[in-house]
């Protein structure tokens, strides 16, 4: 049973389910285990084991997605820091050009006098 959990949006990508108070997953159809297939419908130890494997799969998937998101954000930070360095170099280059132009203008105005 997929309920709208109050989790961060990142975790909603996985499809994590919130457990209702009706019973354990894999305990059989109509007992909170849902109809996840014939093994889970039957309930018992195999149904619980299948539910545990399913939950482990989704936890691993969520961990993998978080890791990829973290790597992506780290890469974005590096790209922005590089852009900042490039812009600072451009600013310094323009400042030097302005100084050269001011010197040239000053020299030209002295020659005209």
- The per-residue pLDDT string of the chain (113 residues; one tens digit each, 9 = 90 and over) reads 444 555 455 555 555 554 444 566 555 555 555 555 565 566 677 778 888 899 999 999 999 999 999 999 999 999 999 999 999 999 999 999 999 999 999 888 888 77
Task: Give me the number of domains the chain comprises.
Answer: 1
In a domain, 84, yes or no: yes
Domain that residue 74 falls in: 38-112
Within a domain: residue 89?
A: yes
Q: Is residue 71 part of a domain?
A: yes
Query: 55-88: b or e for each residue (b if 16 or more CB lie within 10 Å)?
Result: eeeeeeebeeeeeeeeeeeeeeeeeeeeeeeeee
The answer to whether residue 15 sits within a structural domain is no
Position 7 in a domain: no
């Amino acid at each position: 049973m997929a309920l709208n959990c109050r989790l961060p949006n990142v975790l909603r990508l996985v499809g994590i389910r919130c457990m209702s108070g009706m019973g354990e997953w894999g305990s059989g159809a109509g007992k909170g285990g849902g109809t996840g297939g014939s093994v889970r419908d039957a309930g018992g130890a195999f149904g619980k084991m299948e539910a545990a494997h399913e939950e482990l799969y989704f936890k691993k998937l969520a961990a993998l997605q978080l890791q990829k998101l973290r790597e992506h954000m780290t890469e974005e930070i590096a790209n922005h820091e590089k852009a900042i360095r490039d812009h600072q170099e451009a600013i310094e280059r323009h400042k030097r050009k302005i100084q050269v132009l001011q010197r040239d203008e000053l020299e030209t105005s002295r020659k005209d006098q």
